[in-house]
Amino acid sequence: MPRATVKRTVGTSSRSKREDILAAAADHFGRQGYEDTKWADIAADVGVGSTALYHYFESKLHCLFEIMLDTLSSFRTVFDDVTHSHERFEDGFVALLHANFELNEAEVARCRVLVAEQGRLSQPRATEREEEARQRARSRVRELETAWSNYLSRGMATGAIPEADPQLLTRAVLGFYNSVWHWYRPRGSLSLSDVDEFFVPRMLMIVGLAPAPAPRAVS
Amino acid sequence: MPRATVKRTVGTSSRSKREDILAAAADHFGRQGYEDTKWADIAADVGVGSTALYHYFESKLHCLFEIMLDTLSSFRTVFDDVTHSHERFEDGFVALLHANFELNEAEVARCRVLVAEQGRLSQPRATEREEEARQRARSRVRELETAWSNYLSRGMATGAIPEADPQLLTRAVLGFYNSVWHWYRPRGSLSLSDVDEFFVPRMLMIVGLAPAPAPRAVS
């Protein structure tokens, strides 16, 4: 995703404390898992006391929902940028699939957190700020799915891909894509470009676009 | 999966108390989510006190791991049954994909629990019984993936499907399959046979088996 988003490097002074906390939390959640991460670990990384974190987030869960929101927003930005910059559906769709694999390590961690903890988005929360963040994140998931679904419908309308239930096709393609983040680890035996090479042609098959020598997303 | 497993209907007296608890817990975890399910809810369903549950399981997490173990075992049984009963890879593989969509409502709930909570399998536990159950469940995931991977390799060796990294192909196919359980709900607008019809041909494309009029798994 985020060639289009501002890079977040731990320790950059131009970044706000809130962003530092989100980055440290995403890193911990991604490596240790959300459950096993303690507020204190995040606080130590950012160099503040545990109670100071509560100035920014009501709870660890509130922080998780804000990370999900940011991640979903980055995906949406990439979606809009890529689809608007290609006239033909075929070109835009291929570029979109590649763009979603253009991620740095911090972004991969966020994707992993998003897919690992997405179940929490369906459980209503008791406190106002948690519930408000949860609902915003949930709406953002729906908006992103609707954007994909409309885009696929456009591909069907122009005859680029065969007719199918656009909502189900969206779930299939995004489900296949998201499955990567359940097992992929940076600095393992596979690079993200290996994964891209394996998955993109298969994603194209799923929607019914024959795999062609694909133009790479702008890097 | 479990055409091959014993049907578990709540209240059947031939079933042990332990199985009653596992069934009630899987149902609750599937509907409310693991996090939001209380021991007391499960105890109430089974008609025992909360403390009596501890006779069978050390904790809610221990119970979760045992549900995962059972679910993975059912998948393995189906895998062995179906693959052994077809000589040609092409027939066996198609039958296997269909068989994995032959589920009743309780089995769908277990699949949902498995995919929603799979992240917990990578977090070591402090107590012996939890850790032992976690490790067994984790081994069972690996064994199942290895079985799929070997089977796909066999398909490659016989020329039924194109050469590819069998481990990566396994992750791709199983990841695509598992993604269904993140969103599918029984008694929604789609039946499982609608899902089967949509997903199986696309799973066949992913591995490189052209979608053909597929023989249905024995029902």
- pLDDT per residue over B108-126, tens digit each? 999 999 999 998 998 889 8
Nearest to A205 among B33, B178, B205 (CB): B205
| Average per-residue pLDDT for chain A | 90
Can you list the domains of chain A with their CATH numbers? 68-207 (1.10.357.10)
CA distance A60 to A53: 9
Predicted local confidence at residue B51, as pLDDT: 87
Mean pLDDT in residue range B174-194: 95
* C-beta atoms of B36 and A180 within 8 A: no
A203-215: pLDDT as tens digits: 999 999 965 444 4
Nearest to B202 among A122, A172, A199 (CB): A172
Number of residues in chain B:
219
CA distance B207 to B170: 9
> What percent of chain B has a predicted confidence (pLDDT) above 70?
89
Mean pLDDT in residue range B135-149: 98
Mean pLDDT in residue range B118-135: 92
Predicted local confidence at residue B36, as pLDDT: 87
Residue A1 has pLDDT above 70, yes or no: no
Task: Give residue B4's pLDDT band: very low, low, confident or very high (50, 70, 90).
Answer: very low
B17-63: pLDDT as tens digits: 999 999 999 999 998 889 889 999 999 999 988 888 889 999 999 99
Interface of B with A (CB under 8 A): 32-33, 35-36, 116-120, 122-123, 164-165, 168, 171-172, 175-176, 178-180, 182-183, 190, 198-199, 202, 205-206
Q: Which of A57-61, A82-86, A118-122 has the lowest mean pLDDT?
A: A118-122
Task: Give residue B13's pLDDT band: very low, low, confident or very high (50, 70, 90).
Answer: low
Residue B217 has pLDDT above 50, yes or no: no
Predicted local confidence at residue B167, as pLDDT: 97
Unique residue bearing structure tokens 């049984």 = B77
Predicted local confidence at residue A176, as pLDDT: 98
User: Are A67 and A58 contacting, i.e. CB atoms less than 8 angstroms apart?
Assistant: no
Sign for the CA dihedral angle at B75, B9, B188, A146 comes to: negative
Q: Which of A136, A164, A142 is nearest to A152 (CA)?
A: A164
CA distance B112 to B34: 11
Residue B146 has pLDDT above 60, yes or no: yes
Predicted local confidence at residue B144, as pLDDT: 98
- Measured in angstroms, the CA of B15 and the nearest CA of chain A are apart by 31
Predicted local confidence at residue A52, as pLDDT: 86
* Residue A36 burial class via C-beta count within 10 angstroms: exposed 0-12, middle 13-18, buried 19 and up: middle
Nearest to A206 among B32, B180, B202 (CB): B202
Q: Which of A206, A23, A145 is nearest to B205 (CA)?
A: A206
Residue A6 has pLDDT above 50, yes or no: no
User: Are B69 and B140 contacting, i.e. CB atoms less than 8 angstroms apart?
Assistant: yes
Rg (CA), chain A: 18
Mean pLDDT in residue range A23-41: 92
